[in-house]
Amino acid sequence: MTSIEPPSSPFRTEEAAESTDRKTVAAAVSGDQKALAALVDRHQPWIYNLAFRMVMVPQDAEDVTQEVLVKVLTKLGTYDPDKGAFRTWLYRIVVNHVLNMKSRGYEDAITGFDTYYSFVEQVPDMDPDDTPETALITEDLKIGCVMGTLLCLDRTQRLAFLLTVVFGATDALGSELLGVNKASFRKTLSRARGKLRQYMSGNCSLVDPDAPCRCRKKVKTFIESGAYSADRLNYLVAERPAMEEIVARVEERYEEEIDPRIQELFQSHPFYSGKDMGPWLEELLSTSEFEAIFTLN
């Protein structure tokens, strides 16, 4: 159901995509199972990518994605196209769920910048072996460590940063999804940027070449501890496009809010596919609860 080539971003203003969404929703509510599957297929990868960056554990991100989709499908018949875009309606559900869900993934372990970088500092520096396997693990560690800094932010700041920097949303859309005015959204984004800049510039050599922490120096310790191996990578995936290839560009410029070096780091991370939701959707729709909602063809 989920392909390597992701659907176009719902965080971009595309009238054609919105029109397609509305027609698909109408068909799904009328009982077209293929339309319902197409709707899930379009939005599931984006929901999963947002969830994964919020919790950093694939299984937890899959659980969050399924929980969101259950809410969306349950409420699908209540969507009113006269009141706004479908993508806004859907991603308000996503955002509200993520803001209010129980603590997931690494959220309990990563509690703030000070403790995060204190842990990183305690990992001994060692010269790594110069092998292709070590190079792969190093790249995986880079993505994971950079992504981990997001969990040092509170959820609202994390979402504001992800929506704009990683997914390319405008402040108008971001503020609408978070249910605040644009000035408040900009302030939240600015605070997130300020914290990331302060700690990453002072610690991460990927942002500041003179900073002390270097992934290449840390990787051997992780390999020797058994935490990493070339056949068990966590964040680096083959044949997946980078976010920057999909989003193409941030629609709106945020010179004061976003450090371009940090923006480039996060946009270079892969677009993750998540698991095939086809069997799950079929099983879900066979339950009595959903048979009562959809009379599917």
Same domain, 243 and 262: yes
Q: What is the spatial distance between Cα 133 and Cα 127, in angstroms, rounded to a whole number? A: 15
Using 70 as the pLDDT threshold, list the residues of the chain that sit under it.
Answer: 1-6, 13, 248-258, 294-297
Same domain, 115 and 46: no
| Inside any domain, residue 90 | yes
pLDDT at 2: 42
Same domain, 223 and 159: yes
pLDDT at 81: 93
Q: Which two tokens stand for residue 121?
A: 């500092």
| Inside any domain, residue 197 | yes
Count how many domains the chain has: 2
Same domain, 254 and 285: no
- Alpha-helical regions (H) of 56-104: 58-75, 86-100
* Domain at 83, CATH number: 1.10.1740.10
At residue 150's C-alpha, the angle toward residues 6 and 13, to 5°, is 40
Q: Is the dihedral of CA 236, 262, 135, 147 positive or negative?
A: negative
Closest C-alpha among 281, 258, 227, 273 to residue 61: 273
Domain region containing 100? 12-105+274-297
Same domain, 278 and 222: no
Same domain, 214 and 136: yes
| Inside any domain, residue 287 | yes
* Residue in this structure with the two tokens 């989709």, named with its chain if needed: 69
Q: Cβ distance 266 to 165 under 8 Å?
A: yes
Same domain, 133 and 249: yes
pLDDT at 296: 53
| Inside any domain, residue 3 | no
Same domain, 82 and 124: no
How much is the pTM?
0.92
Closest C-alpha among 67, 115, 73, 103 to residue 90: 73
pLDDT at 195: 94
| Inside any domain, residue 284 | yes
| Inside any domain, residue 2 | no
| Inside any domain, residue 4 | no
Same domain, 189 and 95: no
Same domain, 116 and 132: yes
Q: What is the spatial distance between Cα 138 and Cα 218, in angstroms, rounded to a whole number? A: 9
Same domain, 136 and 243: yes
Same domain, 19 and 125: no
Q: Which two tokens stand for residue 110?
A: 């990563």
pLDDT at 3: 44
pLDDT at 254: 59
Q: Cβ distance 41 to 1 under 8 Å?
A: yes
